Each structure stands twice: as C-alpha cells, then as structure tokens.
Amino acid sequence: MFEIVHSIESCTVLVVDDAKAIRKLVSAILKPVCRTVSFESAETALKVCHKIKPDLIIMDINLEGMSGLQACKELKSQPDLADIPVIFITASQEPQVQEKCWDAGAVDFIEKPLVASTLVKRISTHLKYKVQADILTNQSFVDGLTELYNRRFFDIEIDRLLKDSLRRRVPLALLLIDIDFFKKFNDSQGHLEGDKALKDVTRQVSLCTQRPVDLVCRYGGEEIAVLLPDTSVHSAQEFASKVVQSVAKLAIAHPTSPHNFVTVSVGLSCTGSAKATTPAKLIEQADAALYNAKESGRNQYQASMAVPSY
C-alpha cells in the first residue's frame, strides 16, 4: 500500500488543544516524524486550514468556545477541507463519546494519557494513507502528457466555480484555446514533435497565469481550457491576448500553417450574461467565440457576443 510513499517528513500536522502543555508535548513527540503547527482554539485552526491546508489534524474534543466535535463537523462540511483527516484526543473511554467522534467525521482517536510510541505510529499510519490518497487523486485528475489537470477535473471545477460565482455575484471567465492546424503539424512533423509542441504550448499558457486560483486544464486533444475566477471581461481579454502573443513568440516552426509558426485561437466567455448560468452555457459561448476566432483567420482571440460589458 505504501510502497510509493517514501517520506512523511514534509507533511504538516495541525495540533489543536487549549492546554499549552499538551500542544508542546504532541509537537515534541512528532518532531522527528513531521512538521507541526499548533493552536489553542478551533476557530483559529479552521481559519488557518484554508491557508496552510494541513495533511492531518490532531484535536482535543473538549475545547473552549467551539468544541472539537463542532470544528470537525464544520471542517467536513467544506469541500476544500473535507479530505483532511482528523484524530481526536480524549480522556474519555465511554462508548458514546467514541461514537460521537466517528459521527463527527474523525478517522481515529487517541486516549489520554498520551503514549509517545502509540501517537507516533498512529500519526505515521494516517499520514501515509493521506499521502497515498493524494497521489492517487492526483493521478486520476492529471493528464499524463501535459501534466495539466484533465477534463474530468475541469468538469468538477467549472461546476463548483460557477456556483461560487453566481452566489457571490462575481465574474468567472472561461477561455477555450485551440492549437491552430495541429493535425497538419502532426502529419508533417510527426507525433513526437506534436507531443513536444503541445507540451510547450500548455507550459506557456500556464506561465501566463498569475494566481494560484487560475486553473489550466487539458480540455481534449489539442484544446486547453482556462478558468479565471473573480476576473472581469476586460481582464480576461487581456489574458487571452497575452496567451495568443506569448505562444506565437515561442516561434515553433509550422511549415504547413499560413502563419509559419505554431499559433493558437482563443474563445472567451464570462458570467454576467443571463444565459451563462450553467457550465454547459458558459462552454457553449466560449466554443462559439473560438469558432469565430478560427473563421476570422486564427492566431487571435474572440469574446462571446453574450459577455457582459463590465
């Protein structure tokens, strides 16, 4: 099970306990195993989770303010944090207390007084499971050739990001990018060169992004999709123009293209239109804009006619 998990030293464990002595003890015991960060309140820990995304949380059940059980339930209700395993520390051996731990979403619990060897073995085992799960998840969502996220991940994220966009009333932009005359490139240069060109183009598109929230995916074949949360039409147009120009500047020779180099066409759509309220509509508008870019000579971007003016 763990043969590809070489080390857990880089993993981060969040220790949450309102007793300073317990926090120091747990951190000291785990120091040779992994990195630890500790806090005394569940409220603070939840806020920090969004920033550091720990690999595992060790938390006392009975905390002042928000209890450990409440914090665990809150954590599991948030999609971006729900996969973080939680282990409770408890002094109770009552079956009903242990049952509450499982019901809250914990993966395990450790009884007080803490036994160093037990703590190390329990934490090591759960961290290895977490790392293994992350590896498998990454493999299922990443395209093997370009190392971008794949279409499966795109379908999940466009649904999530669009719902968030509509709920918060902020714009979400979608770009569909297609490598111009790519079949001709493969036919004339060979598929090995085609693969290399595709990787070079996708790398360049990724370099154009400036924020961690910007998402670049391999949409299919030679098509790339980019999702830009909290991005106005004007900013998305600037981004699209940057993509077109930067790919052209790679100067990848393409003798069978009228442009002589590998170029891309880009279709842009954005929420704000009354019609762009579902992933299908947002994709449909971007696809129509991409078609217009191709019909207009390629090596350019076009924005959907349905995009708002802001």
To which CATH superfamily is domain 151-303 assigned?
Reverse transcriptase/Diguanylate cyclase domain (3.30.70.270)
| pLDDT bucket at 137, cuts 50 / 70 / 90 | confident
- Gap between the Cα atoms of 148 and 138, Å rounded: 10
How does the average pLDDT of the chain come out, rounded?
91
| pLDDT bucket at 208, cuts 50 / 70 / 90 | very high
pTM of full prediction above 0.85: no
pLDDT for residue 112 is more than 80: yes
Catalytic pick from 64, 94, 111, 222? 222
- Gap between the Cα atoms of 247 and 81, Å rounded: 36
- Gap between the Cα atoms of 145 and 191, Å rounded: 12
pLDDT value at residue 171: 93
The single-letter code of the amino acid at 107 is V
- Gap between the Cα atoms of 96 and 69, Å rounded: 13
pLDDT for residue 1 is more than 70: no
Residue whose tokens read 């763990």: 2
pLDDT for residue 217 is more than 70: yes
Provide CATH 3.40.50.2300 ranges for the chain.
12-141
pLDDT for residue 282 is more than 80: yes
pLDDT value at residue 5: 52
Provide CATH 3.30.70.270 ranges for the chain.
151-303
Say which CATH topology domain 12-141 has: Rossmann fold (3.40.50)
Here the tokens at position 264 are 């891309």
Residue 238 is among the residues annotated as catalytic for this protein: no
Mean pLDDT value across residues 148-177: 92
| pLDDT bucket at 32, cuts 50 / 70 / 90 | very high
pLDDT for residue 309 is more than 80: no
228 by DSSP, 3-state: which? strand
